[in-house]
Chains A and B, each alone.
Chain A
C-alpha cells in the first residue's frame, strides 16, 4: 500500500514536471522581444573528459564575445553554462534544467557522443534545438532512418572519420594487418571502429585482432600482450585521451612498435602528459582542424584565441566551440524572431557557411559535409600531415 502511494506521488510529480517543461518551451517562443537571447551550454566542465568541455567552453566564449560586439539585430547572446560532470545522467539533468528553468532558445553540447545522446530526447520533446560541437556518433542526428529535427552538429561523423583512418592506413602507411582496440562502453569508440573495419577490409587489409576495454581501466598490459601476439602492423585505437594515453604508454613498454591511430577523442594536452612524448611517436589522429594549417581564417582564430587565453594554443574542441557560436548566431540571424522552432529550421538550412573548421553545409540527415585533417604526433607535438575531403 505504502509503495503504491509513493509511486503515485512520484508519477504525479513527474507528470507535473512534464507539463511545466511544456509550458517552458512554449513561453520561450514569446520571449523574442527581450534584449538578450539565452543560449544554454551543457558541457563536460569536470569529470573524466573535462578537457574537452573546457576547451569547447573557451572557444564558444571567444566566438560569442566577437558576435556580441555587434549583436544580432541589436540583441546579445547570453550563455548559461551547466556542468554535466562527464556523465550521461548529469547531461540529461542539465538539459532538463536549461530547457525548463532557464528557458533557453537553444542548447549547445555535449562534447561526447554518449552525453549528447542522453539529451536528444529532451531536445526533441521540448522542441528546443540542440547543437553538439563535437558529438560524432551518427545516431545523434538520425536514428533508424528518422531524422531528429531539433538536433544538429558542427563536426563530421564517425563513419567518415573511421573511413578516413582506414584509407590513410592502407594508402599512406601501407599496412595490411590491423588490430582494433575499442572502449566497449563508448558509442563513439564502437562507431569509429565499425566504420574503420569495413573500410579497411574493402581496401584489401585484414583485421587480425579485436580487443576491448572498459573506460576507467588502468592496466591494459594483459590485453596488449595478447594483441602483440597477433602481430598487427597497425593498431586502430578509437578512444578518449585518458585511457589512450595509458594504453600507448603500456604498449610501448611491452614492445609494441606498430603505429597507433585514433580520432578526435585523442586531442587533449593530457594525452601527451599521460603517454609521454616518446611513446606517442608514430601515432596519428584524424581531426577536425589543425592549428598548424596556414589558412588565414584559421590563423586569425588561433591569434585571437591566444590573445584571450594567455598564449594557449586552441585545440580542435576550441575551434569547434568557436564555430558552433557562429553556426548558431548565423541561424538566429536568419530565423526572424529567434524562437526555438525557427532557429531549428534555420540551422537545418545552413549552406556554405565559412567556419574555422572548413565550409559547412548541412545534408538531409543534419550532418555537416566537411573536410578532415590528419595529424601526426612528433615528440609530443601535433604536426599537420594531410587534409582529406569527403
Chain B
C-alpha cells in the first residue's frame, strides 16, 4: 500500500519533469542544441501565471494560456537574439551561450524583482482526494498527468500531421537540404522554440498551482532533471521525453521511499551517467552513427 502511494507520488512529480522535457527534446531534435535556458522559461511561465492570477485576477485556464503565449514569444526572442547568430558556429559555442542566457534570465529576474519567493493562492483549482487501493491521489496530480499526456498527443499530432510539423522533421533531418526544398528554416526553428517554450510556460503555471512556492531560481533543478529525463527517453523523441520524465519521478520517489531521501538528486544523475554509458541514445532511441 505504501508502495502504491509512492508510485503515485512519483508519477505526479514525473509528470512535471515530462512536461518540461517535451520542450527540451523538441528543440534538441530540430537544432541539436541543449537549451539550458529552458528551465528559466519555465520559471518565467510560473511568474506570468502568478501575476495574472493575483494581479489581473484572470481565471486559471486563461492564465495558463497567457503564460504559454508570453513564454512562446519569450522563447522566440531568446532564439533570435542569442542562438540565431550562432547557427553556423560550433555546437560548444551554442551550448555555452545557452548557459549564459540561462544565468542572464535568472539573475536579471532577481535584479528586477528580488529573490524572495511568492506563494500561489491556495484556491486556484479545487482539490479533491481520490482513494484507490489505499493510496490517496490528489485531483491536481491527475490534472498534471492529464495535461502532460494531452500536450504530448497534440505535439505528436503537430509533428506528424501538419505542414509545420513536416517542415520540422525535414529541418531536423537535414537543414540545408530542407532549405533547398523551399522550407523556411528560420521560421521553422522559431516555431519550434515557440511551441517548446509554451510547453515550459504551461509546466511553470501547473508547478505553481501544485507546489505553491515559486522563486526566480526554481527552474534550475527541474530544468536539469528534465534534461536527464530527455536523455533517458532518447533526446529528440517526444514519447521518450514523456516516459523518461515519469520514470525519473518514480525512481526519485522510490529512492526516498527506501530511506535515502538525501540521495534523491544524486540518483537522478546516476541514472543519467548509466544511460550515457550503456544506452547512449536513450530507451527509445535507435543507435545510429554520427555523420562525419
Contact = CB atoms under 8 A, between A and B. Distances in A.
Interface of A: 46-48, 50-51, 85-86, 184, 211-214, 216-219, 221-223, 225-226, 228-229, 242, 245-246, 249, 253-255, 270, 273-274, 276
A51 B116 contact: yes
What range describes how many residues of B lie at the interface? 35 or more
Given A47-B116, A51-B116, A214-B262, A225 B10 contact: no
11 contacts: A48-B215, A86-B115, A214-B262, A218-B211, A219-B211, A225-B9, A226-B257, A228-B2, A242-B117, A253-B127, A253-B129
A219 B213 CA distance: 11
B40 to A, nearest CB: 16
A252 B264 CA distance: 22
Contact of A221 (B9, B221, B254, B262): B9
B187 interface: no
B213 A245 contact: yes
Contacts of B182: none
B252 interface: yes
A253 B136 contact: yes
Q: Which of A50, A218, A242 has the most CB of B within 10 A?
A: A218
Contacts of A51: 116
A57 to B, nearest CB: 13
Interface in B103-135: 110, 114-117, 119, 122, 127, 129
Interface of B: 2, 5-6, 9-10, 12-13, 110, 114-117, 119, 122, 127, 129, 136, 138, 211-213, 215, 217-218, 221, 252-257, 259, 261-262, 264-265
Contacts, number: 90
A222 B9 contact: yes
Interface centre among A245, A249, A273, by most chain B C-beta atoms within 10 angstroms, is A273
Contact of B261 (A212, A216, A254): A212
Contacts of B110: 46
Contacts of A213: 261-262
A229 B131 CA distance: 17
A358 B261 CA distance: 40
Contacts of A245: 119, 212-213
Given A46-B110, A184-B262, A219-B211, A226 B256 contact: yes
Contacts of A85: 115
A52 to B, nearest CB: 11
A254 B211 CA distance: 14
Contact of A246 (B116, B129, B211, B259): B211
Nearest to A181: B261
Contact of A216 (B5, B12, B129, B221): B221
Nearest to B10: A222
Nearest to B121: A273
A252 B113 CA distance: 32
Contacts of B114: 46, 50
Given A47-B115, A223-B256, A249 B212 contact: yes
